[in-house]
Amino acid sequence: MAQIATSDFKNGMTLDLDDGLFNLVEFQHVKPGKGGAFVRTTLKNVRTGAVVERTFRAGERMERAIVDKKEMQLLYRDGDDYVFMDTSTYDQLNVPSKVLGDHANFLVDSSTALLIMYGDEIIGVDLPASVELSITETEPGVQGDRVSGAKKPATLETGLVVQVPLFIEVGERVKVDTRSGDFISRA
């Protein structure tokens, strides 16, 4: 494993600490007037999602986790599992839905995603900023009801419910933000 010092910290880096695998969300070098310098960090546990604040002494060394990002294509759903195919080696991989979490709401058959792997374990999913999905169910817009900014719920092909403008109909494709789950525009 690669040892790194606190001076090498970068946001998004993954650290292998005694209490688990953590993603470095934010860090700040602090040099008080009295005493030694230290680094204040915000860490997110990649397995549980818990966010913790932790302080390290300046120059302290720790293990950096080597993570790989593999571009995978979703082939199909198999019960609660999602079957992905590595686009370079054509190997198939079953991924439990709990590992994908809320990202599963944006995945349809033959869509691609970057799976973040630590060894053979999938620790995260990196999706594009927006995806295009079809509307499967929504109420029809009422003629004359054109209040500016009025919204109605719409169910997407993945089962996700988003708020869309009144003029959107069943069967249309819309762009959805994968970070917030909000409607962006028609596709």
Instruction: Provide the domain count of the chain.
Output: 3
Q: What is the tens place of the pLDDT at every residue in 129-176?
A: 888 888 898 888 666 656 667 788 889 988 889 888 888 888 889 999
- Bridge partners of 72, per DSSP, are 86, 113
Whole-prediction pTM value?
0.72
Domain-terminating residue out of 102, 126, 150 = 126
CATH (domain of 54): 2.30.30.30
Q: What is the pLDDT of residue 144?
A: 61
Query: Tens digit of pLDDT for each residue in 28-50?
Result: 999 988 888 999 999 998 888 88
Residue 117, Cα to own-chain centre: how many angstroms? 13
86: containing domain: 68-126
Q: What is the rounded (10 degree) CA torsion for 56, 59, 24, 113?
A: -150
Last residue of a domain, one of 36, 64, 92: 64
The CATH number of the domain where 146 resides is what? 2.40.50.140
pLDDT tens-digit map of 102-128: 888 888 888 888 888 888 888 888 888
